[in-house]
Amino acid sequence: MTVIEIEVILDFVCAWCYIGKRKLDRAISLYQKTYPGGRADIFKITWSPYYLNYNPHGRSVPKSDLVDERLGHMTPEQQTALFNRMNQIGRGVGIYFKGGGLMGASTRDAHRLVYLARVEGVEGLVQGALVEGILRAYHEMERDISERNVLVDVAVQAGLARERVLEWLDSDLGGDVVDDQAWRNKDEGKGAGVPRYVVQGGHRLDGVQDESDFIQLLAEIKEKNVE
């Protein structure tokens, strides 16, 4: 049995982070089904915060307005090509992006909830479900993930206790830890952005990876552990 630790650095408003999570999930599932001894291996995944700060307005605003601001340097044709590519890749992993809804001023509370799940020591499946739920709420359900009621709904559906979630969100618990991690991730990334993966503390993968890239690395780690 091999214990494989993966740190995933992401921000929830990043469409490629959603795609990257789905690809990682698929890679792990395929590895466990096909690699000799892979089913017995344990994956410990840490979801680590990053602040993209796409919204500079200090309040929730329509996503479409922010797209115009962020991609103003691109021609309409270039923007269309970018979104067509993103949508095509997304559909390949079961994601159907929607461009409506609001983007909040910050994803800090969403990251604080993920940290709460880690503090509570809940199973990795709950943490993964929480991350998946927040990403889906924003990218597919057009929900504002800076809104308290949205975060409570997602967290409870993932398996966290409602009263604990309310207590956490009504405070600033974990905020200093999340902020420190986010700034550390930005500093260590040296402009690489997200998603980013650190496997076994030493193998770094930047950007969206194909399932085969993950599986190859996991197999290499497994072989070294066997040796």
Q: CATH no. for residue 96? A: 3.40.30.10
Rounded distance between C-alpha atoms, residue 61 and residue 81, angstroms: 24
Beta-carbon count within 10 A of 152 CB: 17
- Say which residues have a Cβ less than 8 Å from residue 139's Cβ, sequence separation at least 6: 15, 18, 95, 97, 98
- Residues 98-126, buried b or exposed e (16+ Cβ, 10 A)? eeebbbbebbbbbbbbbbbbeebebeeeb
pLDDT for 27 equals: 97
pLDDT for 68 equals: 83
* Nearest partner of 106 among 9, 196, 10, 11, judged by Cα: 11
Rounded distance between C-alpha atoms, residue 41 and residue 4, angstroms: 7
Domain span including residue 32: 3-226
Q: How many domains does the chain divide into?
A: 1
Strands of 50-184 (E only): list them: 61-62, 102-103
Rounded distance between C-alpha atoms, residue 13 and residue 104, angstroms: 9
Work out the burial of residue 26: count CB atoms within 10 Å of its CB; fewer than 13 is exposed, 13-18 middle, 19 or more buried.
middle
> Is 104 in contact with 143 (CB distance < 8 Å)?
no
pLDDT for 17 equals: 98
The tally of CA atoms less than 13 A away on the side-chain side of residue 215 is 17
* Nearest partner of 49 among 172, 176, 200, judged by Cα: 176
Cα dihedral 175→190→210→63 (10° resolution): 60
DSSP classification of residue 46:
E
Backbone angles phi, psi at 99, to 5 degrees: -95, 5
Peptide bond between residue 36 and the one before it cis (omega within 30 degrees of 0):
no
Strands 102-103 and 196-199: unpaired
Residues of the chain under the 50 pLDDT cut? none
Q: What is the tens place of the pLDDT at every residue in 53-98?
A: 999 999 999 999 998 888 988 999 999 999 999 999 999 999 999 9
* Nearest partner of 70 among 51, 54, 86, judged by Cα: 54
